[in-house]
């Protein structure tokens, strides 16, 4: 029987976190780095990745690789995995956190906005999963965590959130997670998702600033998520100890979807 320290130890593992240089992505990256994993921070803005990588390297004493990557572009994803394999030779954990949103009334929703959200949140997540899955299947080990949302499970009144493509995309991420969990279990790859509620970030700041009071009425805990309240969920699903847990969508939302 393994000791609890072993079940949560990620020393020597390699974790890719898309959108890992800011917001909840950085919070999740810290969770893995603090448990000993070496990190790959991927985002469209390389300067932000480089700055966060330098900070994490100094604080956590791990190897952190910053990579510019737009997950809607196959060539960027291929280049990302080439860099990771050249540097580390393996991929143990993937967190798909890159995301986009577009707000507009549903009867007037722009097709370009729709495509932007779906291409990033759904197609980008799928492409990253597929590429990681190929590496993990050869290793006979892997942990994939997709970032869904409470929006995957509930509709939203337009005065709270008028972003139909985002709601749709996160439901698709939940479906993709469950299907890959079944298909890849034979390779000892677990595929799970975290469904965050509202956490302060650059993406959510405008909404929280203008609609925060109304939104907290839907949250039984009457507050938004904190700066470290995704870390334990992330570590659990990424850990060796979660080997019998797959196809799970874990809500971290203050009780919103329980209402």
Of 198 and 26, the structure prediction assigns the larger pLDDT to 26
pLDDT computed for residue 160 by the predictor = 79
| Percentage of the chain modeled with pLDDT above 70 | 98
Domain parsing of the chain, residue ranges? 4-252
Q: What is the mean pLDDT of residues 15-31?
A: 96
DSSP character string of 16-34: EEETTTSHHHHHHHHHHHH
Least confident of 120-124, 125-129, 155-159, 247-251: 155-159
pLDDT computed for residue 95 by the predictor = 98
Q: What is the mean pLDDT of residues 222-242?
A: 95
168-220 tens-digit pLDDT:
999 999 999 999 999 999 999 999 999 999 888 766 766 777 777 777 888 99
| Percentage of the chain modeled with pLDDT above 90 | 85
pLDDT computed for residue 98 by the predictor = 96
Residues 169-195: b if buried by 16+ CB within 10 A, e if exposed: bbbbbbebbbebbeebeebebbbbbbb
Q: In this model, does residue 6 exceed pLDDT 70?
A: yes
Query: Could you give the CA distance from residue 143 to residue 108 in angstroms, rounded to a whole number?
Result: 39
55-96 tens-digit pLDDT:
999 999 999 999 999 999 999 999 999 999 999 999 999 999
Name the architecture of domain 4-252. Answer: 3-Layer(aba) Sandwich (3.40)
pLDDT computed for residue 196 by the predictor = 95
41-59 tens-digit pLDDT:
999 999 999 999 999 999 9
59, 113 contact by CB (below 8 A): no
* Verdict on whether the full-model pTM lies above 0.75: yes
Least confident of 148-152, 154-158, 163-167: 154-158
> For all residues of the chain together, what is the average pLDDT?
94
DSSP class of residue 155 equals: -
119, 70 contact by CB (below 8 A): no
Q: What is the mean pLDDT of residues 115-141?
A: 98
Q: What is the mean pLDDT of residues 153-180?
A: 92
Question: Closest Cα to residue 173, out of 120, 237, 238?
Answer: 120
pLDDT computed for residue 212 by the predictor = 72
3-state helix, strand, coil in the chain (%, to 5): 50, 15, 35
Residues with active-site annotation: 166
């Amino acid at each position: 029987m393994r000791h609890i320290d072993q079940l949560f130890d990620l020393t020597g593992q390699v974790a890719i976190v898309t959108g890992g240089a800011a917001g909840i992505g950085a919070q999740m990256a810290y969770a893995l780095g603090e448990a000993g994993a070496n990190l790959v921070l991927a985002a469209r803005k390389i300067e932000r990745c480089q700055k966060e990588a330098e900070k994490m390297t100094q604080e956590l004493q791990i190897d952190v690789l910053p990579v510019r990557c737009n997950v809607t572009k196959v060539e960027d994803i291929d280049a990302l995995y080439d860099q990771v394999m050249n540097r580390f030779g393996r991929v143990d954990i993937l967190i798909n956190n890159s995301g986009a949103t577009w707000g507009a009334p549903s009867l007037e929703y722009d097709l370009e906005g729709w495509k932007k959200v779906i291409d990033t949140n759904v197609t980008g997540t799928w492409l990253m999963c597929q590429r990681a899955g190929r590496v993990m299947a050869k290793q006979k080990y892997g942990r994939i965590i997709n970032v869904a949302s409470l929006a995957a499970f509930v509709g939203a009144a337009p005065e709270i959130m008028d972003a139909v493509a985002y709601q749709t995309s996160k439901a698709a991420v939940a479906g993709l997670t469950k299907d890959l969990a079944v298909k890849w279990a034979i390779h000892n790859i677990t595929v799970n998702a975290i469904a965050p509620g509202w956490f302060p970030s650059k993406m959510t700041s405008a909404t929280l600033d203008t609609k925060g009071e109304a939104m907290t009425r839907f949250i039984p805990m009457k507050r938004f998520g904190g700066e470290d309240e995704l870390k334990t969920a992330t570590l659990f699903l990424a850990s060796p100890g979660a080997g019998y847990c797959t196809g799970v969508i874990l809500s971290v939302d203050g009780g919103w979807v329980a209402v």
